[in-house]
């Protein structure tokens, strides 16, 4: 059921995007007479960054960009009566080299590669003694853990679709909205742990492989991107 709803919403989203592009086509015919070089900023689910675009002709635009995202979220995690001070360090981003093919003046398909830096880390350290039967285990003996995910494919193929719009009389300003995915492969997991959770990190138990398999469906990184640029020449 979830899958059906998800697919339906996505189709709706793409249709809406296509419709928007159609409207754009009618209302905002761009400067598609020749080439141009644009530089600008972007914001996406893969981070904030900069990109440059070189419009070779009305059909093809080359893009190179750099984006990065690094935020920390601290929270308290209680697991089996143990309080952990937990930090989620969500780190991603990458360097992209993409080609946009405009099948209509404002609508394009995008493809290329992203050298991705996907590497979120979840760290936790016991902050309070653990009640265990009639005794309490000192927090230092309860220990800590670190789960670090990494993409198994560092140079990831990317595919997306979007629309582009020009602003101003001379159409020197452009912005585009794009959705896409890059393939990062089944995520790789590194576990380090001390104390109570130490066996979770022990290669003999192959727990890393077990969890990697469980998370292996997460092969694609979804991208929703908004970029704005200025024509330099």
Nearer to another protein, 29 or 35 (CB): 29
CB of 15 to another protein, least distance (A): 6
- Provide the minimum distance between the beta carbon of 233 and another protein in the complex, in angstroms, as a whole number: 31
Closer residue to another protein in complex, CB, 11/115 = 11
* Nearest partner of 126 among 143, 109, 102, 110, judged by Cα: 143
Give min distance, CB of 122 to another protein, in A. Answer: 12
| Residue positions counted in the chain | 233
- The minimum distance between CB 88 and another protein, in angstroms, equals 16
Q: Which one, 42 or 161, has the nearer CB to another protein?
A: 161
DSSP code, position 187: P
Q: Which of 231, 191, 226, 182 is closest to 211 using CA atoms?
A: 191
Strand extents, DSSP E, 80-171: 82-102, 107-116, 121-126, 130-132, 135-137, 143-150, 155-167
The pairing of strands 60-79 and 135-137 is unpaired
Least distance to another protein from the beta carbon of 151, Å? 15
Distance (Å, rounded) from C-alpha 106 to C-alpha 174? Answer: 11
CB-wise, 126 or 227, nearer to another protein? Answer: 126
User: Do the Cβ atoms of 61 and 99 come closer than 8 Å?
Assistant: yes
Nearer to another protein, 225 or 231 (CB): 225
180-191 burial code (b ≥16 CB/10 A, e <16):
bebbbbebbbeb
- Residues at the interface with another protein (CB under 8 A): 2-3, 6-7, 10-11, 14-15, 18, 22, 79-80, 103-104, 107, 109, 132-138, 141-142, 159, 161, 179, 181, 195-200, 202, 204-207, 210-211, 213-215, 217-218, 220, 222
């Amino acid at each position: 059921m979830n899958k059906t709803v998800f697919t339906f919403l996505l189709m709706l989203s793409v249709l809406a995007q296509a419709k928007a592009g159609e409207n754009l086509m009618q209302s905002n015919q761009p400067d598609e007479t020749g080439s141009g070089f644009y530089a600008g900023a972007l914001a996406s689910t893969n981070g904030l960054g900069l990109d440059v675009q070189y419009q070779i002709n009305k059909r093809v635009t080359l893009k190179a960009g750099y984006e990065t995202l690094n935020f920390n979220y601290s929270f308290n995690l209680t697991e089996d009566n143990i309080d952990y001070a937990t930090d989620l360090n969500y780190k991603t981003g990458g360097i992209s080299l993409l080609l946009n093919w405009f099948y209509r003046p404002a609508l394009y398909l995008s493809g290329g590669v992203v050298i991705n830096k996907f590497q979120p880390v979840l760290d936790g350290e016991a902050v309070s003694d653990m009640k265990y039967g009639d005794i309490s285990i000192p927090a230092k003996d309860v220990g800590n853990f670190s789960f670090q995910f990494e993409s198994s494919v560092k140079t990831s193929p990317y595919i997306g679709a979007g629309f582009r719009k020009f602003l101003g009389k001379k159409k020197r300003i452009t912005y585009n909205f794009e959705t896409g995915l890059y393939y990062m492969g089944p995520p790789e997991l590194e576990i380090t742990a001390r104390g109570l959770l130490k066996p979770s990190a022990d290669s003999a138990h192959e727990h890393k492989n077990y969890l990697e398999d469980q998370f292996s469906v997460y092969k694609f990184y979804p991208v929703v991107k908004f970029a704005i640029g200025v024509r330099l020449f």
